[in-house]
Amino acid sequence: MIIRKSFSIPYNRGEIWVSCLDGLGDNIEILKEKVLEDEKMICRPSTPAFVALNLNETTVSAELAAVIVDSLIRSENFINKLTFVGVDKHGKRNIEAYLKKSNLKLGFASKYFDDFEKAKEWLI
């Protein structure tokens, strides 16, 4: 397992924050740590307001969905648009179920993508 650092990339006259949560399988402790670490970065005024959560090859369990959504709610004043990249149908269902169960709504536009290039185009 390789744990990659999250980073920002310039794209089409804008900038995107890429949260690297990919390839971590179901290692919930590492995933929680990464989500909270990225939350601190996203909440910095110098961090781009367009965010791509790369979750390819990561199991988005109900527990991880709750951690991600709660972090996004805390960060929503710093995010304009967000993409979930590489989330399978079970992960998407867990995210949507947590939002509904908790009666929460994200305060920004969000969309699911399988293709990172299409996600970047939608963000900017």
pLDDT digits (tens, 9 = 90+) for 60-116: 999 999 999 999 999 999 999 999 999 999 999 999 999 999 998 899 999 999 999
What residue type is 79 in one-letter code? I
Residue 114 dihedral angles phi and psi, to the nearest 5°: -95, -30
pLDDT > 90? residue 19: yes
- Distance CA(71)–CA(64), nearest Å, equals 11
Average pLDDT over residues 42-56: 93
Q: Per-residue pLDDT tens for 25-38?
A: 999 999 999 999 99
Spell out where 7-57 has E strands. 7-11, 14-20, 50-54
CATH class as words, domain 7-123: alpha beta
pLDDT > 90? residue 1: no
- Length of the chain equals 124
Average pLDDT over residues 30-48: 93
- Distance CA(104)–CA(57), nearest Å, equals 26
**What 3-state class would DSSP assign to 15?**
strand
Position 104 scores a pLDDT of 86
Dihedral sign for Cα atoms in the order 29, 15, 93, 99: positive
